[in-house]
Structure 1
Amino acid sequence: MPVSTADAVVVGAGPNGLVAANALADAGWDVVLVEANDEVGGAVRSAEVTAPGWTTDLFSAFYPLAAASPIIQDLHLEEHGLVWRRAPHVLAHALDDGSAALLCSRAEDTAAGLDAEAPGDGDAWMELVEGWDRIRDPLLDALFTPFPPASSALRMVRRMGAGGTLDFARLAVTPSRRIGQERFAGQGAGLLLTGNALHSDVPPDAAGSGLFGWLLCMLGQDVGFPVPEGGAGELAGALRRRAESRGVRVLTGTPVTSVTTSGDRATGVRLADGTELRARRGVLADVPATTLYRELLTDHPLPAKLHRDLDRFQWDNATVKVNWALDRPVPWTADAARGAGTVHLGVDNDGFVDFAADLSVGRVPQRPLLLFGQMTTSDPSRSPAGTESAWAYTHVPHGEWGEQQLADHVERMEDAVERVAPGFRDSQVARHVQGPADLQGEDASLVGGAINAGTSALHQQLVFRPTPGLGRPETPVPGLYLASASAHPGGGVHGACGWNAARAALGANGLTGGVRRALTRTAWDRLLRT
């Protein structure tokens, strides 16, 4: 069979795989990037699937984490064609009574809107913003670097002081619903915080949800919720063009069937056509942890404890997504929603809890929470003038989704939109539905329609992601690195998982590589000892 050799083989050209390939190429490595689909991007792709002239983001759409990520920023993708666009407002939460809470581009404007509902809430909002401003840079460094982020954490403590550090630690573990209740008199801030918290799968009454909600709200005040001009695929395209400009060979339509090993070390990959790609220095896998260990390493013996830990791996909730081509802007009852790129709808503050409870017990929510994207409002190139390219997604329990069950839930979703935008159904030119099986069929990493590569709950974060271990991209197989969102820090388009894997591979092949490899091997042996 044909054999080719490179310094590194990266499996999977999602955003993490693309970032990993760029980082290795910048260090002078010869890199081959292999992708099973016919185009790169993973869950960062777009196409005309509703009607000609309406561009739809097939999976992810808004990218505050990418815009704030120092990793993405340092790639200077604007030099490779990426242009960010933003809606007039960041986000609105539309209620059935015709009112809406609004996250504006300027924190002062958000505060003014909250204060109009409940005097004093504006000042309370600005206190959150001031806390963000104080620790923004070290916090982002801590979030996006390998565990433990010692230097970044020390910088945060120095800026906050002992009292401030304790306050932040409490905020980080306080449920988002509780933050809204104890800090604000009105309902608007709670809607914004909890709605953003539920971009993850952490329930609004669970520890850690407050951190997610606060982080996304503060990013909204900082960098907004930007979108790539022309569609999500333009972000992936810019990453590919940058990588190829540095010599990365990109192979699309090329499934990998196994990671090859010799002795106890990863040596490359085998492709579906039998071709072997050998890796002199490392294999980086931008695939789910379960796929890596249970499908690509079937010929390599793994510790029994790792298999037992994988049995406990928890996926985040499944997803149903509906895309629409509309012949006019969405007819929102609340004026505030008309200029927002993202709109939350379907539930109020109590409804968040009901929605999460349904998912927790495996019950299909009858009143679903929707995340609704107005893409033409954010980027006028997405559809003809005077129209709107829109989508909405909601989470559902895992399981079999038959045609009728899916159709019934799409009806619930459209009912929710119609309640806050009467006449919405009449504006539809075309509709395209993606159920859980469709999402996985279009991107194998979205297992069962899960979009975050595993739950974001505390029991599967840090050193517990994807299984109890080092909290780092190194795997029990030397020379093999987990570069997907299954690794710390998890889901979201920020590139950190790929970047961390690339840095780990470079370190293992550097001047102190022998010591690093020995320490990592010893740590894994002790952790996985039966």
Structure 2
Amino acid sequence: MNGPTETVDAVVIGAGPNGLVAANLLADAGWGVLVLEATERPGGAVQSAELIEPGFHHDLFSAFYPMAMASPVIAGLDLERHGLRWRHAPVPLAHILPDDRCAVLSRTLEDTMSSVSAFHPGDGEVWATEFAAWSRVREPLLDALFTPFPPVRAAARLARALGVADGLRFARMVTMPAAAWGRERFRGEGATLLLSGNALHTDLGPHQAASSVFGWLLCMLAQDLGFPVPEGGSGELSGALVRRLQARGGRVECGRAVTRVLTARGCAVGVEDVSGARVRATRAVLADVPAPVLFRRLVGEDGLPARFVEDLGRFHWDDATVKVDWSLSGPIPWRNPDAARAGTIHLANDLAGLTRYSTDVDAGRLPEDPMLILGQMAVADPSRAPAGHETAWAYTHVPRGYAWDADRLRRYADHLEAIIERHAPGFTSRVRGRYLQGPRELERDDPSLVEGAVNGGSAAMHQQLVFRPVPGLGRSDTPIDRLFLASASAHPGGAVHGGPGANAAKAALARAGMAGPLYHRVISRLHDVVYAGGPPRPRREPT
């Protein structure tokens, strides 16, 4: 039996960062907004807690936020007025090689130049050239990334900033593997490892197409802005988004899972929660959940074009993940002191090792020599641990579909600790406690991290722009009128920057505006063309 019905302008499914960004932008426009979150706390993959013992503040999922600091979407919300404070490690990133040499990426350009030049004279000057290119295109490039597709004005500004000759070469770089492009530009291994290691924050290995642009982007952001963290824990970023929303009259209700999107005549009209209670949405429903979850579980395939459903069956998730958190009695005793100053550590492969690791994951093999992405949180923010102690974590990508149980997860965590111990003798003796999350645990703690996929779908070229989440318009609009995809499954994809949420909010506002009927007809016709071969869609305007 259905419960009582309440009415709002918009319902947002999911209180992850994209859902909260979307809700804030709609509230700024004067809409009444209700955010429904399935778990007991807002934030999605941006949460922190004292997981192991009091005084040690752990980030449950994501931890460092260069994209959030760079994002014009996040900047426009002025979250500092709602309690957000950014903190920085002395050095954003260090990549430790098997022989304990370090490639160090510093916020000081001269220091990064010196580090990469130690691997080959002259590489520092090439790095400076790349940073100069980044500085020239930074603003239009970021605008193009976070503008609803197609980003006509931002792309035109980017083209003017690059010019024809450099524009062609930039486009070539975007398509290239990180290892190939790094070897073209640099003679030593250090700079190429920084590029390839950063590319592996996605599911793209150093020899996969388009990994170069992800590695280059994160490297340049680290050089420019660092890898910042919210003071007190990642949950402070989510907390600032919630406080801002509440100040504008929006509401967040946790522990209230949505089980169905309600539709009428091809239009989203509200949602039903796990208790059977319904919420009527007079203007829009926005979903900060993965695309397969939204369309298969909450909408149902029967109400979707057959071609769209067929394409959804080809959706590619990114890799699964294993993560370990530690409370430590002291700093990690790295053999190379350069690593002690870095908030983020890439451990501990050369380029051949990164290639083997990526190949193992792609082939469904559990890597024996994985790349670890490790965070030293008290190095970046001393409030994360008692004085003289450390709060640390490490994660690595693993194959999807691997049969994890508690014993296998424990033994693999022991293996990861042994890798750290080789480069930081005495590490294991400083472990006071640890908390393990395999793919199953990550999905349990945040249902949007399906089997530990942290980016809402593969970052490969075939699933970007107009191919994300399926071949279409590259927009948040869906084949269901007034239903908008606001998660990382939509363009511009994963990482914490608010882009998908902002795009969904802008689309919802456009659909509800004075030109809304025309907007609906255009989008509907385009969907009919893209998904030709599916069932006919209704032409009547929804009431």
Report the secondary structure of 1:357's partner residue.
helix
What per-residue deviation string (whole Å, max 9, x for no partner) do you get for residues 150-201 of structure 1? 1111111111111110111111112111122111121110111110010000
Stretch deviating more after TM superposition (319-328 or 148-157): 148-157
CA contact (8 A) 1:6 1:32 kept: yes
Q: Partner residue of 1:494?
A: 497
For 2:302 and 2:41, the matched residues in 1 are separated by 30
For 2:348 and 2:114, the matched residues in 1 are separated by 25
User: Equivalences for 1:40-439 in 2 at 5 Å?
Assistant: 40-298=42-300, 301-399=303-401, 400-439=403-442
CA contact (8 A) 1:322 1:431 kept: yes
CA contact (8 A) 2:295 2:301 kept: no
Question: Paired residue for 1:441, among 422, 431, 444?
Answer: 444
What per-residue deviation string (whole Å, max 9, x for no partner) do you get for residues 39-72 of structure 1? 1000000011122211100000000000000000
Report the secondary structure of 2:484's partner residue.
strand
For 2:283 and 2:187, the matched residues in 1 are separated by 57
State the 1:372 CA deviation.
0.2
For 1:300 and 1:311, the matched residues in 2 are separated by 14
State the 1:403 CA deviation.
2.2
- Structure 1 runs (4+) deviating above 4 angstroms are none
Report the secondary structure of 1:281's partner residue.
strand
Q: Partner residue of 1:457?
A: 460
State the 1:411 CA deviation.
2.1
For 1:445 and 1:408, the matched residues in 2 are separated by 26
What per-residue deviation string (whole Å, max 9, x for no partner) do you get for residues 231-282 of structure 1? 0000000000000000001111111110001111100001111111000100
Given the two structures, how large is their TM-score scaled by the length of structure 1? 0.99
CA contact (8 A) 1:368 1:412 kept: no
For 1:96 and 1:416, the matched residues in 2 are separated by 10
For 2:495 and 2:123, the matched residues in 1 are separated by 30
Structure 1, unmatched stretches of 5+, are: none
Quick one: percent identity of the two aligned structures?
54
For 2:79 and 2:502, the matched residues in 1 are separated by 15
CA contact (8 A) 1:289 1:486 kept: yes
For 2:119 and 2:285, the matched residues in 1 are separated by 54
CA contact (8 A) 2:283 2:508 kept: yes
**Aligned residue identity for 1:409:** Y
For 1:330 and 1:162, the matched residues in 2 are separated by 48
CA contact (8 A) 1:96 1:419 kept: no
Q: Partner residue of 2:540?
A: none
Report the secondary structure of 2:490's partner residue.
coil
Report the secondary structure of 1:170's partner residue.
helix
CA contact (8 A) 1:322 1:434 kept: yes
For 1:470 and 1:279, the matched residues in 2 are separated by 24
Report the secondary structure of 1:372's partner residue.
strand
CA contact (8 A) 2:438 2:452 kept: yes
CA contact (8 A) 1:261 1:300 kept: no
For 2:32 and 2:302, the matched residues in 1 are separated by 26
For 2:478 and 2:182, the matched residues in 1 are separated by 40
For 1:347 and 1:406, the matched residues in 2 are separated by 22
What per-residue deviation string (whole Å, max 9, x for no partner) do you get for residues 416-455 of structure 1? 1111111110110101100100000000000001100100
Given the two structures, how large is their TM-score scaled by the length of structure 2? 0.96
**Aligned residue identity for 1:69:** S
For 1:459 and 1:30, the matched residues in 2 are separated by 37
**Aligned residue identity for 2:378:** T
For 1:306 and 1:172, the matched residues in 2 are separated by 28
State the 1:300 CA deviation.
5.3
